[in-house]
Amino acid sequence: MISRKLNLLTTVTRKMPAMLAALLIAVTGTSVHADGHGMKVGFIYVGPTGDHGWTYRHDIGRQSLESELGVEATFVESVPEGADAERVIRQLATSGHKLIFTTSFGYMNPTNKVAKEFPDVKFEHATGYKRESDNVSTYSARFYEGRAVIGTIAGHMTRTGVVGYIASFPIPEVIRGINSFTLAMRKVNPDAVVRVVWVNTWYDPGKEGDAAKALIDQGADIIAQHTDSPAALQVAEDRGVFAFGQASDMSKFAPNAHLTSIVNNWDPYYIERAKAVMGGTWASVDTWNGIREGMVSFSPYGDAVPADVRAAADAVKEGIASGSIHPFDGPLNNQAGEQVIGSGERLGDGDLLGMNYYVEGVEGDLPG
């Protein structure tokens, strides 16, 4: 597809001074050709489709949309969150796309702005909360549910009682994941602690690997990550410790170290929403699906995971799917040991969406 690489300029602009970036803005475009089915769906990605992580999984969803429904689904990759995004979204809207998925949090304001100009086009924004006009939907996955499952595995399998966690940016989504992981781990292993290293990037294989090394050097024997590349798993394999994959099945990179990966599964949602547009039943909704709906799924367990641990992890998966378990069931203490909620209580979605504190068992200060 010609559109694949046309936006490379925008990739580069992230790495260059703003002055140079300004020179380069004008060039992105998508090639568009009509298709028998008539409907065109557009995707805008924050990273390259070859990242083997976040964007890769969105693109798998886009591909199954094409193969299942025969619609033409074009994409623009590596679009920085900011002024460029607005231009790309507008371009998709003017070039005949009837449904546009904007797949990163930072596209929130541009999506809503462009949506007001194109009332006939439906917009779906991933991981955001603003729906300023009735042609905007938001959708996200309850990844924290997946993190409760891998936290359970970590609790069973850590020997040192120290688990390393590579985090990207201190936003509620990431903090929620750390907390969910920690709570589940300490249900199994109350003495275990989580050490967090913030790398302040979603995607830098070298730095992610270095963070893993630092954590392992400081005693962590399991590595979890909220960044996108498989570099940390390779380090874990090399050092003989365990690790979890992120966003897609990363077992290939660490055949011995890989315990399981949380897999982002957007396919069913994309197909359902495209069908709704074709059938005229599309409406603005806010979707936050998890393990039950299959939006959060898992790769097969690694060989290192013993049967009893698999059973424990499966029980958590089933409990979350059925609603009998919630990762944020009380009693729940914050990092300082003060009770947030008591036994029998449960944090609501509002509390989860704005989460800005560590729970007990996480070491280090939360960057403010």
Asked whether position 275 contacts another protein by CB under 8 A, the answer is no
Of the candidates 187, 207, 275, 292, which one interacts with another protein according to CB under 8 A?
207
Q: Which stretch of DSSP H or E encloses residue 239? A: helix 231-239
Q: What are phi and psi of 64, to 5 degrees?
A: -70, -25
- Beta bridge mates, 17: none
Of the candidates 35, 117, 134, 217, which one interacts with another protein according to CB under 8 A?
217
CB 216 within 8 A of CB 232: no
Asked whether position 218 contacts another protein by CB under 8 A, the answer is yes
Asked whether position 20 contacts another protein by CB under 8 A, the answer is yes
SS (H, E, C) 108-168: HHHHHHHHHHCCCCEEEEECCCCCCCCCEEEEEECHHHHHHHHHHHHHHHCCCCEEEEEEC
Q: What tokens were used for 248? A: 């897609």
| Chain centre to alpha carbon of residue 79 | 17
Asked whether position 304 contacts another protein by CB under 8 A, the answer is no
With respect to another protein, which residue has the nearer C-beta, 4 or 90? 4
Q: Which amino acid, one-letter code, is at 19? A: M
Whole-angstrom distance, CA of residue 268 vs CA of residue 302 = 26
Listed ranges 99-107, 177-185, 232-240, 297-305: which one lies at the site for another protein (CB under 8 A): 232-240
Of the candidates 68, 238, 293, 345, which one interacts with another protein according to CB under 8 A?
238
Asked whether position 96 contacts another protein by CB under 8 A, the answer is no
CB of 331 to another protein, least distance (A): 25
Rounded to the nearest 5 degrees, what angle is found at the Cα of 193, between the Cα atoms of 187 and 199? 125
Of the candidates 28, 104, 137, 229, which one interacts with another protein according to CB under 8 A?
229
CB 179 within 8 A of CB 358: yes
- Beta bridge mates, 297: 263
With respect to another protein, which residue has the nearer C-beta, 208 or 221? 208
Of the candidates 96, 106, 205, 330, which one interacts with another protein according to CB under 8 A?
205
What is the binding site for another protein (CB under 8 A)? 4-5, 8-9, 11-12, 14-16, 20, 24, 48-52, 56, 78, 164, 170, 195-201, 203-211, 213-215, 217-218, 220, 229-231, 234-235, 238, 252-253, 363-365, 367-368
